[in-house]
Structure 1
């Protein structure tokens, strides 16, 4: 598809998003509505007219190009190590990142946290540069990450989260209705261990689905929830002291 066609297609979507009609465009360009429809159907907008329509939407042509590229960009499922480090090195940026991934708007963030509007917009612009979001006119946020987006295994952000889990997550009695702690011990074959891991993976997907389903609810009806799923070979003597007999000598 030629780039001009893609650009006009994106422009039509933006007009609809901003509740602008061909009548509005016709008034802006001082043309008849029929002429505007013909220009759009033939993808025959001059640069000058394109600039005027963009101005009608409160944006520049460069913003339109950015929007077009974002529409055709492949959603990212994982950041690079360097990108994660950028976020992990700034805890305020990390907080905004996590909130945005949970579908918070910039108004939600400023209403809940001690951030000014300018601070939040600066953090959102940073996430825009990392292609995690697209910062749209009116400071609307469009997520660009794939549905299976995750932090890098053993990456900067995962290491930071694990450190917080060690020092803070288990500082609770897990006695509230919204909390639950279960510790299981048993002896599993390799096959059973693999089966259980698949069940854990499915459980994680179920959690993610519920989180996405609840994304449309008001912020006041949602609570930040963290689930830790883990299994490892961990012999009982590690709990009760080393009592295992040494292997028989040859």
Structure 2
């Protein structure tokens, strides 16, 4: 099932890169657009239909398999030196986070006050860092793995932690698009480890949903941050009451 999801994910990327839409594929397959959307959402393709879609977007089925294999060998983390280079340049960091979230070159220019030459320069740096491949026409191919993470306690994580402390929790979390849960328990190390595994699964789901939504116009999407935290900790005030 994971291989099927990866193959369909690669197919979606190639569809977007070709400039074709679900409506185009529907005409080629002589199906309704709703049926094509359902095929993609359910990862439910026959081999014959996969080959027909590949023909429609101008690649072979073998090409699709090879592209999927290449993506499965993508970057999972930067080195400390690479992260320092990104963290020390706010515009570069902004563009890096944006392209990881599926922004195209046009999206970057529309969303941020960055000129085209500077934007190309920053993308070229990300190409050198192997985060992306900058293609002709300033098209962007993301080279990071679905489980890509910034280094624990690295320069970029520290940068975002500072921003979280300053900005993220300045909210009552009472709006429809906000939620804050604070749960307390006394847990064994095994239970703690189990919850950490579930948090990582949720992080993978977050990335999968992000990639799915990347097909929508930028005007239909809003910047969203999710913070998951788990640690063995209690308020320092309680330490005064701890039995020695």
Quick check: TM above 0.5? yes
Report if aligned partners of 2:75, 2:144 keep a CA contact under 8 Å in 1. yes
Residue 164 of structure 2 corresponds to: 165
In the TM superposition, 1:46-125 aligns within 5 A as 74-125=73-124
Gaps of 5+ in 2: 1-16, 20-69
Distance change >3 Å, CA 72–CA 99, structure 1 → 2: closer
Instruction: Tell me the alpha carbon deviations over residues 40-71 of structure 1, each in whole angstroms, 9 at most, x when there is no partner.
Output: xxxxxxxxxxxxxxxxxxxxxxxxxxxxxxx7
RMSD: 2.6
Gaps of 5+ in 1: 1-15, 19-70
Q: d(CA) in 2 for partners of 1:134 and 1:73?
A: 15
Instruction: Tell me the alpha carbon deviations over residues 78-98 of structure 1, each in whole angstroms, 9 at most, x when there is no partner.
Output: 111111111000001100011
Report if aligned partners of 2:71, 2:143 keep a CA contact under 8 Å in 1. no
TM-score normalised by length of structure 1: 0.66
The structure with the larger Rg is 1
Instruction: Tell me the alpha carbon deviations over residues 137-167 of structure 1, each in whole angstroms, 9 at most, x when there is no partner.
Output: 1111111222222111111111111111111
CA drift of 1:130 comes to 1.1
Report if aligned partners of 2:132, 2:140 keep a CA contact under 8 Å in 1. yes
Per mean C-alpha deviation after superposition, the further-off stretch among 114-123 and 72-81 is: 72-81
Q: d(CA) in 1 for partners of 2:183 and 2:18?
A: 51
Instruction: Tell me the alpha carbon deviations over residues 98-145 of structure 1, each in whole angstroms, 9 at most, x when there is no partner.
Output: 111111111111111111111111111111111111111111111122
Residue 134 of structure 1 corresponds to: 133
Secondary structure of 1:216's counterpart equals coil
CA drift of 1:238 comes to 2.4
Equivalent pairs, count: 181
CA drift of 1:17 comes to 6.4
TM-score normalised by length of structure 2: 0.68
